[in-house]
Structure formats: C-alpha cells, structure tokens
Amino acid sequence: MITTLLRQPLLHFFVIGAALFALFSVVDDTPPTPDRPVIVVSTQDAQWLASQFQATRNRPPSAKELEAIVDAYVREEIYVREALALGLDQGDTIVRKRLSQKMEFLTEAGAEASVVDDTMLKAYFDENAETYRSAPRVAFAQVFLPEPVQESLPAILDALAEGGDFTQVGVRSLLPAIVSPISAQAVDGTFGQGVFEQIAKLEPGTWSGPVTSGYGQHLVRLDVFSPGELPAFEAVRDRIEQDWRRDKAEDLRLERFDQLRNQYDIETPDLSQVLSQ
C-alpha cells in the first residue's frame, strides 16, 4: 500500500512544491518590509503645547485649536526627521550653531538644579568681595581757569582765599560749578578721561590744582571722597546666588566640553600656512 501511495503523481506534486517553496525561502533576496516609524505625541507633550498657547494668548486653547497645534507639532516632527534623513542639517551653520547651543544649555542646566546654601554663598561673597563693593564717588566744586593759566591763577587763588564767591571767578562755561557725589564713570564722562583719578588724590576742603580736563585747566575743591562700601551679605544675597549659578554653569560647561573633547582625536591644519595663502 505504501509503495502504491509513493507512486501517486499527486504526492509527487506536493513534495516537489514543498521543496521549491523551501528553496525559494532560502534564496529570496526581496528586502523585508521595514517597520513603519512611529511618532508618539504624549499627554505631557500635548499639555506642554497647550501651556505654550496659553502663555502667548492668555487663554487655554479650544479643542479645535489644540488639535491644530498637535497637527502642526506632528508636521514639524515629520519634516525634521525627513530633513535629517536627507542630511539637510549637514553644512548648515544655523543648524550647527543651534545644536551647539542646545548642548551647552543641557550642560548648564545642572547649575540651576544645584543646591546651594548660605555657607557656600558667603564663601563665594568673600572670594569676590570687590565685585559687590559700591563704586568710589567724589563731590567737588570747580573753577574753570582762563588762559594763560600761569597768569590768571594767582589772582583767582587770592580771591578765593579772601572768601570770594568761586562761582563768580574764572571762565563761565556749561560745566557744573558744584558736583554732588558721583562715580568715576560720571566724572570722566563729563570732564574727560582721568579727571576722577586726579580729583580723588586731592586734599579735601582745599582749593587745589590745576586739574587737567578735556576742556582745559581747573581749580578743584574736593568736598567728599567715598572709597565705596561693601554691602552686607543679606542685602545682596539674591544677586550673589545668581552670580554663583552663572559661574557654576560656566564651570560645568567647560568641564563637560573637556570630557567630550577627550573622546575625539582632533586634526587641524597648519594655521600659519592657512594665513599665508
């Protein structure tokens, strides 16, 4: 019976078909259908998009508006993925700069999350005390001397020694005769570079000079000199913390970059040859 079965043409047909199917499966070079990429917009993503809308419009989006916002987000994600797949980011200086900035932001974000206490901030304050010291200031009176100064100076000094009104001697000008306490920047901005330094060295309460300004020669009476004061820690604590976090962010950025740089072998051209071309 088995011999009879083996002689049946139908059986031969099935055996040959199975063999051909197995052979085709082995040698078939048709590429498999790739998995479709997936874009997932999570609830958190949608909430973030809604919060961005509310921050801009001062109201939450409607259901239709939120749907449009999510559609725009998906459209942007698709275009970004396709652009990256085509290599459109390569050689684009704007894209390169933006990606570089985002890497720095990721690194510096650690500074914002850092826990800092008053002990650390006071140590930072002590190390950077001059940064927080108020600017030196001077208050003074001045007489603009007429030329030639060597000839006009003795008579003016005599008049001032006798108690004369200093606003009535010398040359009339648009320069202020009396200056209330102001900083070096303000003095030099009005009278010329270096005038504050000259005035700060004078003997207080005495007419001295000549002091050279951008306009000519002056007699000056220094009334007040304030070298600047260091504020109490509590008065500037918020500023100190901001400065500490800024410096911490910079330190983290440099440290992280050094770690990343050490992962690369970097080759650069001879820059002297580049400049000579």
Per-residue pLDDT tens for 19-40? 555 555 555 555 555 578 888 8
Annotated domain spans of the chain: 93-132+231-250, 134-226
Q: Could you list the pLDDT tens digit for every one of the 277 residues in the chain?
A: 555 544 555 545 555 555 555 555 555 555 555 578 888 888 888 898 999 999 999 999 998 999 999 989 888 888 888 888 888 888 888 888 888 888 888 777 777 777 789 999 999 999 999 889 888 999 999 999 998 888 888 889 888 888 888 988 888 888 999 999 999 999 999 999 999 999 999 999 999 889 999 999 999 999 999 988 899 999 999 999 999 998 988 888 888 888 888 887 877 777 777 777 6
Instruction: With CA atoms as reference, report the closest residue to 169 among 157, 178, 179, 181.
Output: 157
Extract the runs of DSSP E, i.e. beta strands, from 129-272: 137-144, 178-183, 207-212, 217-226
Helix (H) or strand (E) holding 241: helix 237-261
- pTM recorded for the entire structure: 0.52
The distance from CA 59 to its chain's CA centroid, rounded to whole angstroms, is 31
Q: What are the two backbone dihedrals, phi and then psi, of residue 27, each rounded to the nearest 5 degrees?
A: -95, -5
| CATH (one of 3.10.50.40, 2.40.50.100, 3.90.1010.10, 3.30.70.270) for 134-226 | 3.10.50.40
Where b means 16+ CB within 10 Å and e means fewer, 175-186 reads: eebebeebbbee
The angle formed by the CA atoms of residues 102, 103 and 105, to the nearest 5 degrees, is 60
Q: How many CB atoms are located within 10 Å of the residue 43 CB?
A: 7
